[in-house]
Amino acid sequence: MKQLYVAGAGLMGSGIAQTAAIRGFDVSLRDVDDSIVGRALDSIKKRLDSQVAKGKLEATARDEAVARLHPTTSLEAAGRADLVIEAITENFEAKRELFKRLDAICRDTTILASNTSSIPITRMAAATRRPDRFIGMHFFNPVPVMPLVEIIRGRETSEQTVATALELASALGKTPITSLDYPGFIVNRMLVPFVNEAIHALTEGIGTREDIDQGARLGLHHPMGPLELADFVGLDTHLYICDVLYEGLHDPRFAAPPLLRQLVDAGHFGRKTGRGFYRYGPDGGRLTE
């Protein structure tokens, strides 16, 4: 496998494309308009430049990786891909529409993978004529740093497709785990109740946001506390995942805390909007209040 096509040049898509290009894959990175793919390519170059400046990457390796990245707005370019990874917004209708079109464009042998954090793989696969060659590959943010990929088998996913996805994850330098297509898969099933409990603790005044985050950082050795992690992931995304889990499992552990919903209603999505549980400057750095 040599040719990848990444649909969606946001944070996750550009992280996946960067990782794949560094690992020697030819990558088309697609989004709907030139300015989005242009911005994604600029941020990848900036990150690679900083790796070079830190002495962690050879300048020639950076240049070769950049040469392997092909920004595009074309869906037809997916016709050359061995495997497509979709990383667009978490919206079932948008994903279904995209997969339908990709299914018509891609070669019969091409595997379609979704980076969804919560939408059922089986449901998206059913929009295509290749549910056996459809799989979940769930990466973690920031993709170049986080070592895990969750491989999610849909109801019809073939063993061959699972084997190829496992091989690809390893070739990308990641460690894969496999999960059934069950709400939240493995990691978000564990993460959501943890973050929700932190939000309830804040709402109930048990501790300040700083106390709660410090508790997880210093007491549990987490790199980020649950509230700062929710801001980092995006409160809108966390809310979406809560709703999918609650709808799928009908278990109150997954019900969105009212404070979370209220922050999202107010447009405070976390780091990306400059405000969530904390406030952030334009460079994403946390502001002290």
State which of residues 147, 205, 219, 223 lies at the interface with ligand 3HC (CB under 6 A): 223
Question: Is 93 a known active-site residue?
Answer: no
Phi, psi of 167 (to 5 degrees): -65, -45
Say whether 141 is catalytic.
Answer: no
Between CA 169 and CA 137 the distance in angstroms is 8
157 versus 188: smaller Cβ distance to ligand 3HC: 188
* Stretch binding ligand 3HC (CB under 6 A), from 60-68, 143-151, 203-211, 269-277: 143-151
Is 117 a residue of the active site? yes
- Give the binding range for ligand 3HC (CB under 6 A) out of 27-35, 80-88, 91-99, 144-152: 144-152
Site for ligand 3HC in 56-75 (CB under 6 A): 56
Instruction: State the catalytic residue, choosing from 188, 196, 228, 238.
Output: 188
Segment interacting with ligand 3HC (CB under 6 A) among 124-132, 135-143, 157-165, 194-202: 135-143
| 277 binds ligand 3HC per the rule CB under 6 A | no
Find the part of the chain contacting ligand 3HC (CB under 6 A) among 33-41, 74-82, 166-174, 229-237. 229-237
Q: Which is nearer to ligand 3HC, 8 or 144 (CB)?
A: 144
188 binds ligand 3HC, rule: CB under 6 A: yes
Three-state SS at 216: helix
Checking 271-279 for CB contacts under 8 A at 24+ apart, the result is: 271/231, 271/232, 271/234, 272/234, 276/230, 276/231, 276/235, 277/202, 277/209, 277/227, 277/228, 277/230, 277/231, 277/235, 278/209, 278/227, 278/228, 278/231
State in Å, rounded, how far the first CA of the chain is from the last one: 50
**At 79, which amino acid appears?**
G
Buried b (16+ CB within 10 A) or exposed e, 156-190: bbbeebbebbbebbeebebebbbbebebbbbebbe
Closest residue to ligand 3HC using C-beta atoms = 117
Residue 142 lies near ligand 3HC (rule: CB under 6 A): yes
List of residues 6+ apart from 98 with CB closer than 8 A: 7, 86, 88
Q: Is 138 a catalytic residue?
A: yes
Identify the residue whose tokens are 């993709």.
143
Distances (CA, A) of 247 to 203, 233, 254, 266, 278: 23, 21, 9, 23, 29
Q: Is 266 in the site for ligand 3HC (CB under 6 A)?
A: no
The single residue among 35, 54, 159, 175 that binds ligand 3HC, judged by CB under 6 A, is 54
Write down the least CB distance from residue 153 to ligand 3HC, Å: 18
Q: Cite the active site residues.
A: 117, 138, 150, 188
Interface with ligand 3HC (CB under 6 A): 47, 54, 56, 117, 140-142, 144-146, 188, 223-224, 229, 233, 237
